[in-house]
Structure 1
Amino acid sequence: MTMPVMEPDLDSATLRAWARLVDEGPFSSLCWGERIAFDNPESLTLLGALAAWTDRVRLVTTVVIPQLHDPVMLAKALATGDLLADGRLTVGIGVGGRHEDYRAVGADPATQTMRQLADRVAVMRRVWAGENVTDATLPVGPPPVQSGGPELLVGTTGPKTLRHAAGWAAGLAGISLDLNTASQNELFDVARAAWREAGKPAPHLATSFWFAIGEGTAPREQVHHHLRRYMNWIPAEIVDAIAPTTGWAGTQDELRAVLGRFADIGTDEIHLIPTSTDMDQLRQVSEVVSDLS
């Protein structure tokens, strides 16, 4: 389950209640994404809070963009998060899709490449290994709880990008816009082959989609409203055109069926993305997931 970080008018009580209900429920992971030129909470600060608010669930960034950060400071922040979470951190990383986020922090949009991403991963790995990368008196710490650092997932929907990440990632944290399981399985097959060719264990295969649960037309309208707000860098008429087929909207029974179809293609994990802060929707999804566990 993903935190509702892209919803408006958030406060600490809402975020804390959401995190604790997820932690107490049947979910395997608690996720959240990063944007800069938006009014969402800052991702690494939120990591510290989520580590304190939860005890069981795995914490997964979906995704952090290394090019928006100094790699040594990012490695330090993530190692601190892993320490606070007692080794429950998984780091999904990607290049991002918005130049405005790069510009907002003074980062060069020309670095929005997988090569630049891999270079920053290499620096973070060196920091987590205890190497003195800054020629300081002591190496940059703290050491992460997980040996070698948190598990890394690549956030992508492209086969070429996925192949590029096989050398450093443990798997995929993707997104499915139209919930087409045949297309999703084709991407999974690319990952399976790339990881096999790299001589690595089978990849962790995760994808995500926006959701709204309920009866009638209200859920689809909710998804549409969310996309209008979230996809604010895209012309509204384009968002309106894709909204009827983007994400998922329906009843509990329909959600069970959708999750079953993703399970059939070997999906290890679905990172559900809420389109509301409504706790009742979280409880309804929790009931569905409990039935499938």
Structure 2
Amino acid sequence: MDIGIALPTMCRGYDRAATVEWSRLADQGPVSSISCGERLTFHNQEMWTTLAAAAAVTERVRIFANLSVLPAHPVELVAKQSATIDVLSEGRFTLGVGVGGRIDDYRSLAAGFGKRHERLDHAVAELRSLWAGECPSAGTDPVGPPCVQPGGPPVLAGALGPKSLARAAKWADGVVSFSVTGTPAEIAWSAEAARQAWTDAGRAAPRLVSGCFYALGIAEPERVLRDFTADYLDFLGPEAASGTAAAMGTHESDALHRALDAAEAAGLDEFILVPASADRAVLDSTLELIGAR
């Protein structure tokens, strides 16, 4: 099983130096991918710009958008952003797409929140059409640049429930799920649910990716992890955010190994560690942990 690292863009204090340092060191180490996600009404740096910078300073690791809230954006723009990063990375880009769960992000983009699952289905089909060189409308030129990867980057669906998995099984190359706490039973359940959806759709097994929050190698890792989790999940309301934060246990190497062992036992293709701090010590400790497996 591959192990990826998310850039700590959701951590307070993340800056230019962190993008360059984390990307370059991950590229040199035993890491399969670097990634970051999309949030608009938050303090994080913008996903596409950050991934473009990471693509430009790396040579080996895959660059993973985890994930784009596709129904909130013009499909032509996402097609162009994806193709550009595919070129910048020389074909190392993977696109994760989903509907998201934060209505404020939709509102801030003046995008409708209704029928977003259906809009996602149509948007992915349009993405593939645009990457194939078809014009977005009559009388216009194609949306470039041409992708390096034939047919465009792999598309993974951020899907978890049975309905969203059934929809994703019609068009996605795989599934990217997430276990905030790194619970082994949750990791195994989501992997099996995705496989069943693909089986029901008559398709070969999907690529399976998951991940969890963690802290490692710094002072007071438990407090840092819980503070980060509560901050990130604040949009759910203080009670839900604090309740989840209090349950976090992935702040020591043994707990991380258990999560990784569970992911491997569940047959995942990749597990992504999402840091709760941009401190360089977290990256050093993570690279050491991955290298020791």
Same fold at TM > 0.5: yes
Q: RMSD of the alignment, in Å?
A: 1.7
Q: Structure 2: which amino acid aligns with 1:180?
A: T
Percent identity, aligned pairs only, is 37
In 2, Cα distance between equivalents of 1:130 and 1:17: 36
Deviation at 1:151, TM superposition (A): 0.2
In 1, Cα distance between equivalents of 2:188 and 2:40: 32
Is the CA contact (8 Å cut-off) linking 2:213 and 2:276 kept in structure 1? yes
- Asked whether 1:130 is paired with 2:133, we answer yes
In 2, Cα distance between equivalents of 1:180 and 1:4: 21
- Asked whether 1:285 is paired with 2:281, we answer no
Q: Structure 2: which amino acid aligns with 1:58?
A: R
Cross-structure match for 2:226: 224
In 2, Cα distance between equivalents of 1:8 and 1:186: 32
Q: How does 1:24-173 map to 2 (within 5 A)?
A: 24-111=28-115, 113-173=116-176
C-alpha spacing 1:43/1:8, structure 2 compared with 1 (3 Å): same
In 1, Cα distance between equivalents of 2:135 and 2:188: 42
- Asked whether 1:2 is paired with 2:2, we answer no
- Asked whether 1:265 is paired with 2:269, we answer no
**Runs of 5+ unmatched residues, structure 2:** none
1:55-101 superposed Cα distances (whole Å, 9 cap, x missing partner): 10001111111112100111011111101110100001110110000
What is the TM-score with the length of structure 2 in the denominator?
Answer: 0.93
The number of aligned residues is: 289
In 2, Cα distance between equivalents of 1:118 and 1:146: 22
Which moves more between the two structures, 5-14 or 264-273? 5-14
- Asked whether 1:237 is paired with 2:202, we answer no
Q: Specify which structure has the bigger relative contact order, considering alpha-carbon pairs within 8 angstroms and separated by 6 or more residues.
A: 2
In 2, Cα distance between equivalents of 1:244 and 1:16: 32
**Runs of 5+ unmatched residues, structure 1:** none
Post-superposition, which runs of at least 4 consecutive aligned residues in structure 1 deviate over 4 A? none
In 2, Cα distance between equivalents of 1:226 and 1:3: 14
